[in-house]
Copies of this chain bind each other. A is one copy, B any other.
Amino acid sequence: MSNLDSVYSKLTIKTGAKLALVVLDGLGDIATAAQGNMTPLEAAKTPNLDALVRSGCAQGRMIPVAPGITPGSGPGHLALFGYDPIEFEVGRGVIETLGLGVELKAGDVAARANFCTLDAAGLVTDRRASRIPTEVCERLCGILSAKLKKLGATEVIIIPGKEHRFVVVFRGAGLEGPLTDTDPNREGLAIAEAKPVDAQNAGQKKVAKLVADFYKAALPLLANERPANGFLMRGIAHQPNIPTFEQRYQLKAAALAVYPMYKGLAQLVGMTKVEGPSTIAEQFERYVADHDQHDFFFIHYKYTDKAGEDGNFKAKVKAIEDFDAALPILLARKPDVLVITGDHSTPVAAKGHSWHPQPVLLHSALCGSDKLERFTETGANQGSLGIFEAKYLIRLMQANARMFDKFGA
């Protein structure tokens, strides 16, 4: 725990306040000439959000990781949850596993894997095995799972994903990542050996041996399959040991997310996963219903990011307007501290995640009014929160919930 974290921790008092963090995935955007010099937030009709802003809100922009760094969903959300994503790096295998809805335990080592095609000499001829259908992947994972439940004392868990993708989890004592990939990264080469990144690390050495044993046992089971007679493993890493959200903030947190990836990320920090809702309106209804059972609500909305990734300006505007239409359900039982933001920007013009600081809006009895008319990127540039690192967001929410004692006399 950093010195500053221990200061926050010592100052924390429980107040019974309700806090809600609403994440419009990839919300942030940029104004370009092709978009009439407007961002989707600026172009969208958001009467409910506008009314909230005019009732008194603080705005600002957040740097998700560090200047210029474009985060994936993992680091983006870890930062929102207040965990420095440079300090708490989560391996791709872990994220992929969480994304498939698998619960990981501390110490588990997970790898993303994909079926591939090998020639008679054992060289990779197709790194994705012609993207076999998902059903084939499920059947092959079934074959491996049936025979490979354990390697020595270590439990092996194999979960199929979409098309050629699956994940492998090793569960046992004394395991650690990360390891190098077995994917040679191009065709014509043999499957590589998974090597410890730190050659002195006993846990990594143990996993290197497990991976080698796994290949030895699994490859013969696939020998007669075509085109998927081999597999490659990447992002071999352990579930990091992360202090829970409740340990960190003294807040019991619930996650209202629809997509497995975000449920998984919330679980990684110990939030309670709330199953059921499948639309933003249902998520808000469930927040209202469960209001008294948790202190903190993480509510995740995916469609802004999807539209950004597709480079679809109209769809992103529509996603924001759909969100706005549902907002009154949440506001009917307004939390004491409400934040609406993104985990990063996904500009339509970039057709993907970006480094641009995402806009953030904070509403509470003590947030003060920035005297802005709307919640937009351009407006947020002038807000009282300024530009700050996303990892401080929950601290600001706690402050607005009066959860911090005065520091010093």
Chain A residues close to B by CB (< 8 Å): 3-4, 7-8, 11, 29-33, 37, 39, 55-56, 61, 65-75, 85-86, 89-90, 92, 95-96, 235, 347, 349-350, 352-357, 365-371, 377-378, 381-384, 386-388, 392, 395-396, 398-399, 404-409
Contacts and interface: CB of A to CB of B under 8 A. Distances in A.
A368 B75 contact: no
A386 B359 CA distance: 12
Contacts of A75: 407-408
Contacts of A30: 366-369
Contact of A95 (B8, B69, B406, B408): B408
A31 B371 contact: yes
Contact of A406 (B353, B371, B404): B353
A67 B408 contact: no
A11 B67 contact: no
A74 to B, nearest CB: 5
Contact of A407 (B11, B37, B70, B396): B70
A407 B32 contact: no
A344 to B, nearest CB: 10
Given A69-B407, A356-B384, A357-B386, 16 more contacts: A8-B66, A29-B368, A30-B368, A30-B369, A31-B368, A33-B56, A37-B371, A68-B392, A68-B395, A69-B395, A69-B399, A70-B406, A71-B406, A71-B408, A95-B409, A347-B366
A387 to B, nearest CB: 3
A11 B85 CA distance: 15
Given A33-B56, A37-B369, A366-B349, A386 B384 contact: no
A47 B39 CA distance: 26
A396 B32 contact: no
Contact of A384 (B61, B86, B369, B371): B61
A32 B7 contact: no
A101 to B, nearest CB: 16
The 7 closest A-B pairs by CB, nearest first: A30-B368, A68-B399, A386-B387, A68-B395, A72-B408, A75-B408, A67-B392
Contacts of A384: 61, 356-357, 377-378, 381
A343 to B, nearest CB: 11
Contact of A68 (B39, B56, B370, B404): B404
Contact of A66 (B4, B61, B72, B378): B4
Contact of A72 (B74, B86, B369, B409): B409
Given A95-B408, A404-B69, A409-B92, A347 B370 contact: no
Contacts of A8: 66, 68-69
B386 A368 contact: no
A298 to B, nearest CB: 18
A350 to B, nearest CB: 6
Contact of A409 (B4, B65, B73): B73
Which of A61, A71, A92, A378 gathers most chain B CB within 10 Å? A378
Contacts of A3: 86
Contact of A381 (B61, B377, B386, B399): B386
Nearest to A42: B371
A207 to B, nearest CB: 19
A355 B399 contact: yes
Given A33-B56, A382-B381, A408-B90, A11 B369 contact: no
B92 A386 contact: no
A353 to B, nearest CB: 6
Contact of A67 (B355, B357, B365, B396): B396
A70 B399 contact: yes
A65 B70 CA distance: 25
A68 B396 CA distance: 5
A348 B202 CA distance: 59
